[in-house]
Amino acid sequence: MSATPQLHSLDSLIANALSGKDLEEFNRIHYGRTDHHVIKVKKNSQDVASNNDFEISAYAFPAKKEDTRAPRVVKVGVIQHSTAAATDRPTTEQRQAMFNKLEKIINTAGDEGVNVLCLQEAWSMPFAFCTREKHPWCEFAESATDGPSTQFLREFAVKYNMVIVSPILERDEAHGDTIWNTAVVINEQGKVLGKHRKNHIPRVGDFNESTYYFEGNTGHPVFDTKYGKIAINICYGRHHPQNWLMFGVNGAEVVFNPSATVAGLSEHLWAVEARNAAIANSYFTFGINRVGTESFPNEFTSGDGKPAHKDFGHFYGSSYVTAPDGARSPGLSRTKDGLLIAEIDLNLCRQIKDKWGFTMTQRLDLYADSLNKATKHEYKPQIIS
């Protein structure tokens, strides 16, 4: 049976269906501003994207001019992509094919002056955790400090004076060869600034990730980089508002959500969660999702009584950025590799905190006390009847 054709882009569908005042009003209501503030990219970048079958989009998110602070303008990029080799090929071959594909996109980001670049969840491998097979997928696990993915990316970090966030499958040799779902932060000097391990592990549908790794143990770190304070809320953590909250409490100005999620499960939630987090916490968020359908050599089941199958379903891409004021960009394609660039002014974070007062009114003391009580064995819900 042939696969159902995938919608290329919901944003394009709407833009092509509306025009004039109707489109302007839709943009105001849906995106939070009538003008997308599109940034023109270089012709060479457009040519590279066209020749290598990926799209490139760029948008600006300015802040108001201030008397006491200079603008803090930073170019942030995110990459979404499909796998580059069949999943029955040797793991080293699959990883190298991914490196070859990403090299062109990263170079384009560098040529466009991107300061901070974030890749998708487990970017250097297929998202094989649906299979529950340990071999060969555990062979993709690597050192956060000097594994092949870090070695590959640090050259670009130095070349372009760029901070790179690299979400990988980590092998922790110092603690019993355990495996973690980890985001590695490489600074502009090519040094590993630190890492964050995924806090929330899904146990839903084909997302059998706890077969491979458990909940992370790194808390909610914020990395103070040359270009601002960044954090990484890996994939399933976006469903947990408290996870987003803690990155904000720790001072994040930009929070990335590198993900791998499929159309039949979460697409109706995708445009909501990272956007809501940006609003609630007065910081910038970037939702990043892989694209394509990844088929595996052996069939697996989902524990739902349905027939065994060889793929997860369609990873729908649609990566996007949201500003602290809730304005967001159109998403990248649902079907195609892409580079999304946002020129953001970090001053907007404080300006929105001043305007809405969410951090001033959030009552952390109240919630901390209530949650502390709720964790006790003898806790009784505060229900009045």
**CATH code of residue 205:** 3.60.110.10
- 268 occurs within a structural domain: yes
Same domain, 172 and 219: yes
Q: Which helix (H) or strand (E) holds 287?
A: strand 284-289
Same domain, 17 and 146: no
pLDDT digits (tens, 9 = 90+) for 224-275: 999 999 999 999 999 999 999 999 999 999 999 999 999 989 999 999 999 9
- 1 occurs within a structural domain: no
Same domain, 27 and 143: no
Q: How far is CA 309 from CA 60, 122, 291, 313, in A?
A: 42, 22, 19, 10
Same domain, 198 and 49: yes
**Mean pLDDT for the stretch of residues 318-327:** 98
The Cα 98–Cα 331 span in angstroms is: 23
Number of independent structural domains in the chain:
2
- 385 occurs within a structural domain: no
Q: Which helix (H) or strand (E) holds 168?
A: strand 163-172
Q: Which helix (H) or strand (E) holds 110?
A: helix 91-111
pLDDT digits (tens, 9 = 90+) for 155-214: 999 999 999 999 999 999 999 999 999 999 999 999 999 999 999 999 998 998 999 999
Q: Which two tokens stand for residue 179?
A: 């495996």
pLDDT digits (tens, 9 = 90+) for 92-151: 999 999 999 999 999 999 999 999 999 999 999 999 999 999 999 999 999 999 999 999
pLDDT digits (tens, 9 = 90+) for 281-315: 999 999 999 999 999 999 999 888 889 999 989 99
Q: Is the pLDDT of residue 221 over 70?
A: yes
pLDDT classification of 3: cutoffs 50, 70, 90: low
Same domain, 128 and 216: yes
Number of C-beta neighbours around residue 177 at 10 A:
10
Q: Cβ(36)–Cβ(11) under 8 Å?
A: no
- 25 occurs within a structural domain: yes
Degrees, nearest 5: CA angle 210-222-32: 90
Instruction: Say what the pLDDT of residue 4 is.
Output: 67
Same domain, 125 and 172: yes
Instruction: Say what the pLDDT of residue 373 is.
Output: 97
> What are 300's strand-pairing partners?
309
Instruction: Provide the residue range defining the domain that includes 28.
Output: 8-36
- 145 occurs within a structural domain: yes
Same domain, 25 and 78: no
pLDDT digits (tens, 9 = 90+) for 46-97: 999 999 999 999 999 999 999 999 999 999 999 999 999 999 999 999 999 9
Q: Cβ(347)–Cβ(72) under 8 Å?
A: yes
275 contacts: CB under 8 Å, gap ≥ 6: 285, 320, 322, 326, 328
Instruction: Identify residue 165 by its one-letter amino acid code.
Output: V
Q: Which helix (H) or strand (E) holds 277?
A: helix 263-281
Strand order across the beta sheet in which 223-225 lies: 223-225, 228-232, 254-259, 284-289, 320-322
232, exposed or middle or buried, with CB in 10 Å at 0-12, 13-18, 19+? buried
- 2 occurs within a structural domain: no
Q: Which helix (H) or strand (E) holds 77?
A: strand 73-80
- Three-state secondary-structure class, residue 264: helix
Catalytic residue list: 121, 198, 235
Same domain, 14 and 149: no
230, exposed or middle or buried, with CB in 10 Å at 0-12, 13-18, 19+? buried
**Mean pLDDT for the stretch of residues 365-373:** 97
Q: Cβ(325)–Cβ(32) under 8 Å?
A: yes
Same domain, 26 and 174: no
Measured between its terminal Cα atoms, the distance across the chain in Å is 57
Same domain, 73 and 25: no
Same domain, 168 and 96: yes
- 382 occurs within a structural domain: no
135 contacts: CB under 8 Å, gap ≥ 6: none
Same domain, 20 and 87: no
- 384 occurs within a structural domain: no
